[in-house]
A and B are shown apart, each in its own frame.
Chain A
């Protein structure tokens, strides 16, 4: 059964979970959100959550610095990611989570004589250990979780019909990544139906075997979540993200990296006491990108299903 308090937390986690930094960074704009449904909320020993999410990310905005640029090439670029996550509470404070993914990228230049390039395959995986020194209960309004994880390059990074496609079109990164993560929540009422949530995470990316490394990434989010009644909840947050430029041979790749500010709304519905569904989106608010021209997020949305045992 999923207590209401957990539902709120769960909702928050959809929004504030590790989102984006750990995978084939599509054009350095956080293409593949691997951890949207990580359950990093309060747990009881033996709790088990399984979550499935699907994320559709459209990456067709052409930007110069902070200015939108008209794209005459009629580019259509988007990524479809499917993530399966499992979280298990070892103790009341310790939990482990594991995620696996499947990614499909597609790229079409509408003005070109050639067709669409598509890649599809198993993506990278994440293993995360979480420690919650304290969490929101009817007797405590504060919750804190700390996480340490590793991204494992289980995905294909040499996809191509002979010619290897670019790194941002690969299902996997081909490189390990180290993840640090923390989240804090404050309940405005004893029932914890209204919460303030914040989270931060940092990912350090290693080089793949072609000496390419996605830029290290930092995310910081602030928002509120609220449960309305027994089954419905919503949240809204602002998320700041910054990445360093990608590198090859340890030299920075021009026109990669930057800063983004996104608005992330979400809703959740508890179908049963064990099953909930959620829908979230990511809407660009502002961005300041490195270099003179980059393609970046137009929008994304995700649908998730979570079952708690």
Chain B
């Protein structure tokens, strides 16, 4: 995890990429330092060594990403430190932009900048509110050029940093090669990130969010003759096993110009790793199961996209079998009018909306689930213009322009028995975003969202959730807004910035998959919930007595 020089910029290899941070930092430094001067209440000569202020002990305080900022010594204007904290790595990086310890002779010149400009970088682990960083000096490079390659001289010294709180810190330095050592207090150039820091620091480090309840209902549900549901409640739909033929590793259309989809047509959107795909309902209506592969961190993983046209529900399940066939098929059976799949490794039966095996060797097993976003093609394409689309060239002779079930999507008809079918609080085919938390269940009708993106900070059972949806864009998603460190975020809607749909109280922006795409929490993922879109009659068949968001 060392910082490797590349020409005159830093190659920061924590993420195995090179990034020209040096020139960027330098470009940003001058305005920041001007700001520091404007904000500093005690200007002083450069290089002064003000004894460190006795910091008020505040227990406990720990390094967090809210410390990422420009920090200055009020007694040393036009110079300062940039800190970058990597909480997931327990590392902190410091870049100290300063000057030489002595003014160079007047005949010493520089082509860019001033001959007395100096910067020192340091990297190390933090422990609580303190970190000891190994300093390095880079030299021998050329401005914005690959050659000559700069040299990185490690072991230049040590920089010790300690923060008492989000606004005050101390720096101690010792650079043996130059004989320089000392300490000084530091403070922020501006207080914009103090709230974030306090929010991150306020979370109890001993706190750990409860593991998600991945099951729908009891943790150890009763069985009936080894099956999770009564056999009399499972119906043969008629086509027989794989009579509705699943698609196996199908083709996708890459060229956006060749995609012929109406913008209002519903698709199931998937984003796994770098793979962004849309599966049109018009094709899923005829096949229901798509066994596919995705590339995650350079390796190929199997996953099955399953959609039930009778219940309007879509899921993405990871392949579970360790060996042999990891794919699923359609069993031809239905439970509560909902798709029952079978896995080809063990021939166990799986209820789609229960998200669980209901019979066979894998009974009670819950598949690893990946999020999907059901929306219109127009909205999905706006979210991810680079998306590819499932091709109609499936190898099957099906008229994908035809809907196979007549007026089913709009009428009140049930083709197969479903429990609780007299719960008529909503139209049977009303599309709802449902979430199940333990024994608590709540639905948010898609049509009930505002036309623009609407965000609802809500509670379902003992889970604090954030719901984002839009009737105009035709989507709805819900996540746990409590983070792993027990920080509970609150959200507002973001308009006209798809796939970004919400912003939290820390200023981070999050997309429809619950991923932070901007802000200090960039890359973090909101916890997935037991939720999906389905027809109302189906949701209430599985989760009786669900609350309805008004």
**Which A residues are within 8 Å of any B CB, using their own CB?**
27, 64, 69-73, 75, 107-109, 111-114, 117, 160, 162-169, 210, 248-249, 251-255, 291-293
* Given A70-B397, A292-B402; A168-B415 close (CB under 8 Å): no
Give A55 to B395 CA distance when docked, in angstroms: 35
Q: Which residues of chain A are near B231, meaning CB under 8 Å? A: 162-163
Q: Which residues of chain A are near B414, meaning CB under 8 Å? A: 248-249, 251
Question: For residue B225, which residue of chain A has the nearest CB?
Answer: A162
Q: Which residues of chain A are near B402, meaning CB under 8 Å? A: 292
- A166 x B415 contact (CB < 8 A): no
- A163 x B408 contact (CB < 8 A): no
* Given A64-B399, A248-B415; A163-B404 close (CB under 8 Å): no
- A109 x B333 contact (CB < 8 A): no
Q: Which residues of chain B are near A69, meaning CB under 8 Å? A: 397
Question: For residue A110, which residue of chain B has the nearest CB?
Answer: B242
Q: Which residues of chain A are near B239, meaning CB under 8 Å? A: 109
Q: Which residues of chain A are near B238, meaning CB under 8 Å? A: 27, 166-169
CB distance from B311 to the nearest CB of A (A): 15
- CB contacts between A and B, total, < 8 Å: 91
Interface on chain B toward A: helix, strand, loop, or mixed SS? loop
Specify which of A160, A249, A291 is in contact with B406 (CB 8 Å cutoff): A291
- A251 x B242 contact (CB < 8 A): no
CB distance from B304 to the nearest CB of A (A): 14
Specify which of A27, A114, A293 is in contact with B242 (CB 8 Å cutoff): A114
* Given A113-B344, A113-B347; A254-B415 close (CB under 8 Å): yes
* Given A109-B243, A113-B242, A113-B344; A255-B404 close (CB under 8 Å): yes
List residues 224-253 of chain B with CB under 8 A from any CB of chain A.
225, 231-232, 234-243, 245
Of B232, B238, B347, B411, the most chain A CB neighbours within 10 A belong to B238
- B404 x A291 contact (CB < 8 A): yes
Give A69 to B397 CA distance when docked, in angstroms: 7
- B404 x A107 contact (CB < 8 A): no
CB distance from B334 to the nearest CB of A (A): 10
- B236 x A72 contact (CB < 8 A): no
Of A107, A163, A164, A248, the most chain B CB neighbours within 10 A belong to A163
Q: Which residues of chain B are near A64, meaning CB under 8 Å? A: 399
List residues 16-62 of chain B with CB under 8 A from any CB of chain A.
none
Q: Which residues of chain A are near B395, meaning CB under 8 Å? A: 72
Q: Which residues of chain B are near A252, meaning CB under 8 Å? A: 406, 413
- A109 x B237 contact (CB < 8 A): no
Give A197 to B238 CA distance when docked, in angstroms: 37
Q: Which residues of chain A are near B241, meaning CB under 8 Å? A: 109, 112-114, 117
* Given A109-B240, A164-B236, A254-B406; A248-B416 close (CB under 8 Å): yes
Tell me if B307 counts as interface (CB < 8 A to partner A): no
Cross-chain pairs A/B with CB under 8 angstroms, 23 sampled? A27-B238, A64-B399, A72-B395, A75-B240, A108-B240, A109-B241, A109-B243, A112-B240, A112-B243, A113-B347, A114-B329, A162-B231, A163-B235, A163-B236, A163-B333, A164-B234, A165-B236, A248-B415, A249-B414, A252-B406, A254-B405, A292-B403, A292-B404
Of B325, B344, B403, B415, the most chain A CB neighbours within 10 A belong to B415
Q: Which residues of chain A are near B396, meaning CB under 8 Å? A: 72
Q: Which residues of chain A are near B235, meaning CB under 8 Å? A: 163-164, 166
Tell me if B449 counts as interface (CB < 8 A to partner A): no
- B347 x A251 contact (CB < 8 A): no
- B399 x A251 contact (CB < 8 A): no
- B408 x A254 contact (CB < 8 A): yes
Give A27 to B329 CA distance when docked, in angstroms: 22
Tell me if B513 counts as interface (CB < 8 A to partner A): no
User: 0/1 per residue, B391-422, Cβ < 8 Å to A?
Assistant: 00001111100111110100101111100000
* Given A73-B242, A75-B243, A255-B404; A113-B329 close (CB under 8 Å): yes
Give A160 to B234 CA distance when docked, in angstroms: 11
Tell me if B342 counts as interface (CB < 8 A to partner A): yes
Give A193 to B430 CA distance when docked, in angstroms: 66
Q: Which residues of chain B are near A168, meaning CB under 8 Å? A: 238
Question: For residue A251, which residue of chain B has the nearest CB?
Answer: B413
Q: Which residues of chain B are near A166, meaning CB under 8 Å? A: 235-238
Give A64 to B397 CA distance when docked, in angstroms: 10
Give A254 to B331 CA distance when docked, in angstroms: 20
* Given A112-B240, A291-B406; A164-B413 close (CB under 8 Å): no
Give A168 to B396 CA distance when docked, in angstroms: 24
CB distance from B176 to the nearest CB of A (A): 71
Give A114 to B245 CA distance when docked, in angstroms: 13
CB distance from B94 to the nearest CB of A (A): 59
User: 0/1 per residue, B327-365, Cβ < 8 Å to A?
Assistant: 001010100000000101001000000000000000000
Question: For residue B411, which residue of chain A has the nearest CB?
Answer: A251
Specify which of B232, B234, B342, B403 is in contact with A114 (CB 8 Å cutoff): B342
CB distance from A115 to the nearest CB of B (A): 8
Give A71 to B325 CA distance when docked, in angstroms: 24
- A72 x B397 contact (CB < 8 A): yes
Question: For residue A249, which residue of chain B has the nearest CB?
Answer: B414
CB distance from B427 to the nearest CB of A (A): 15
- A251 x B236 contact (CB < 8 A): no
Give A71 to B243 CA distance when docked, in angstroms: 10
- B404 x A254 contact (CB < 8 A): yes
* Given A163-B234, A169-B236, A255-B404; A292-B399 close (CB under 8 Å): yes
Q: Given A112-B240, A114-B342, A164-B236, 10 more contacts at CB 8 Å?
A: A70-B397, A72-B245, A73-B242, A164-B234, A168-B238, A210-B417, A249-B413, A251-B411, A251-B414, A254-B415
Question: For residue B238, which residue of chain A has the nearest CB?
Answer: A166
Question: For residue A62, which residue of chain B has the nearest CB?
Answer: B397
* Given A109-B243, A248-B415; A160-B347 close (CB under 8 Å): no
CB distance from A252 to the nearest CB of B (A): 8
Q: Which residues of chain B are near A254, meaning CB under 8 Å? A: 404-406, 408, 415
Give A73 to B239 CA distance when docked, in angstroms: 10
Of B232, B234, B240, B397, the most chain A CB neighbours within 10 A belong to B240
Q: Which residues of chain B are near A162, meaning CB under 8 Å? A: 225, 231
Give A5 to B291 CA distance when docked, in angstroms: 64
- A111 x B399 contact (CB < 8 A): no
- B242 x A107 contact (CB < 8 A): no
Question: For residue A111, which residue of chain B has the nearest CB?
Answer: B242
